[in-house]
């Protein structure tokens, strides 16, 4: 840091050096950790291997979390369990009994058709955003392969619980 930078820093308040750049300290919200990107985060990820449902339908539009939830739900349903369904992803993704919180992303120009289709599949629609082409709500887990196979759906994302970092501890859902 040269003299000019020091004088400027003193004039605008305390600063932190981040990767040789200056940023005002106190950015963000208390208890929220924002990771600083590093080389491994910026490298191109490996091409994902599509996940397939046993009937041959591609579930790659649903991603890893929803695929895991679906496989667990399928095993739960076939096992004839009497207790409520609990997924290994329940602490991360919003799941209530046999419903999973999702954002369904429609192909451009098809939001109305996709919203109507989701309702007919039993989705409890809580929001439709025509700007982003997103239908949000709680979808029956058993309907994930049907939604993934819909040609008007470009992708399906789970709705995650907010995550906060505090004192080096990782917290999900409030206790």
Average pLDDT over residues 166-173: 58
pLDDT of residue 52: 47
Place of tokens 């910026």: 42
Domain ranges, ordered by start, for the chain = 63-158
Question: How many residues does this entry show for the chain?
Answer: 175
Residue 162 banded pLDDT, cuts 50, 70, 90: confident
How far apart are the C-alpha atoms of 104 and 63, rounded to whole Å? 12
| Residue, of 160 and 6, whose pLDDT is higher | 160
Q: Mind listing the pLDDT tens digit for each residue in 135-147?
A: 999 999 999 999 9
Q: What Cα–Cα distance (Å) separates residue 47 from each residue in 40, 44, 50, 54, 139?
A: 15, 9, 9, 22, 28
pLDDT of residue 63: 87
22 beta partners: 17
Is a pLDDT exceeding 70 seen at residue 21? no
pLDDT of residue 22: 45
| The domain defined by 63-158 carries CATH number 3.30.460.80 | no
Q: Mind listing the pLDDT tens digit for each residue in 28-58?
A: 445 555 555 555 545 544 444 444 455 545 6
Tell how strand 169-171 and strand 124-129 pair up. Answer: unpaired
């Amino acid at each position: 840091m040269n003299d000019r930078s020091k004088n400027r820093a003193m004039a605008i308040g305390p600063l932190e050096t981040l990767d040789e750049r200056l940023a005002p300290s106190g950015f963000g919200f208390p208890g929220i950790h924002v990771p600083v990107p590093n080389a491994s985060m910026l490298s191109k990820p490996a091409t994902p291997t599509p996940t397939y449902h046993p009937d041959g339908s591609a579930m790659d539009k649903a991603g890893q979390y929803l695929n895991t939830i679906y496989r667990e739900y399928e095993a739960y349903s076939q096992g004839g369990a009497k207790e409520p369904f609990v997924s290994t992803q329940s602490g991360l993704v919003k799941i209530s009994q046999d419903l999973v919180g999702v954002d369904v992303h429609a192909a451009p120009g098809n939001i109305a058709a996709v919203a109507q289709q989701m309702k007919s599949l039993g989705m409890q629609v809580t929001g439709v955003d025509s700007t982003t082409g997103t239908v949000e709500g709680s979808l029956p887990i058993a309907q994930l392969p049907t939604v993934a196979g819909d040609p008007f759906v470009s992708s399906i994302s789970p709705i995650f619980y907010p995550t906060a970092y505090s004192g080096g501890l990782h917290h999900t859902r409030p206790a």
